[in-house]
């Protein structure tokens, strides 16, 4: 299966590990190059994420990159770890990626349960499968 991984760049190390695990299971996995750079502790990338992440997103055209990879994929895996004190955090960019996947009729998997956020109804309406860290449920 072709899978695009979505999640907060601040969790890039965990996301990179999940990518490797999925690839070991035989999946083709797409993850943006910025995730790898952040996971490998590229200091310039880390600095820019902290100071002006929007600039990196614009320079790398991440919205279009994710849209095109999701279009090419069978599914997305939302790696929604805790962030900002919110268990299962899903930010604005990932919410958009979930929307892309939904309108493209792709399978949507959440690594962790749906967070308690103001847009919880939209997340539920996307009909994700919550796998509770069990990557073997991705089929």
On whether residue 106 sits in a domain, the answer given is yes
On whether residue 81 sits in a domain, the answer given is yes
The predicted-structure confidence for 18-66, as pLDDT tens digits, reads as follows 999 999 999 999 999 888 877 888 788 878 777 888 888 888 899 999 9
Q: How many domains does the chain contain in total?
A: 1
On whether residue 112 sits in a domain, the answer given is yes
On whether residue 11 sits in a domain, the answer given is no
The predicted-structure confidence for 75-131, as pLDDT tens digits, reads as follows 999 999 999 999 999 999 999 999 999 999 999 999 999 999 999 999 999 999 999
Q: Report the predicted TM-score, pTM, of the whole model to 2 decimal places.
A: 0.93
HEC states along the chain? CEEEEEECHHHHHHHHHHHHHHHHCCCEEECCHHHHHHHCCCHHHHHHHHHHHHHHHHHCCHHHHHHHHHHHCCEEEEECCCECCECCCCCHHHHHHHHHHHHCCCEEEECCCCCCCCCHHHHHHCCCEECCCCHHHCC
On whether residue 103 sits in a domain, the answer given is yes
| Residue 103 domain boundaries | 22-137
Q: Is the pLDDT of residue 15 over 80?
A: yes
The confidence score (pLDDT) of residue 125 equals 98
On whether residue 14 sits in a domain, the answer given is no
On whether residue 15 sits in a domain, the answer given is no
């Amino acid at each position: 299966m072709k899978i695009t991984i979505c999640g907060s760049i601040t969790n890039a190390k965990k996301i990179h590990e999940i990518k490797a695990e999925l690839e070991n299971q035989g999946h083709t996995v797409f993850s943006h190059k910025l995730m790898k750079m952040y996971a490998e502790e590229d200091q310039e990338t880390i600095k820019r994420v902290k100071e002006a992440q929007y600039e990196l997103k614009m320079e790398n055209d991440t919205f279009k990159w994710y849209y095109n990879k999701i279009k090419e994929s069978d599914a997305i895996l939302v790696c929604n770890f805790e962030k900002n004190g919110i268990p299962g955090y899903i930010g604005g960019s990932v919410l958009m990626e979930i929307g892309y996947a939904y309108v493209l009729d792709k399978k949507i998997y959440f690594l962790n349960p749906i967070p308690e956020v103001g847009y919880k109804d939209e997340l539920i309406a996307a009909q994700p499968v919550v796998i509770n860290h069990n990557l073997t449920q991705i089929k």
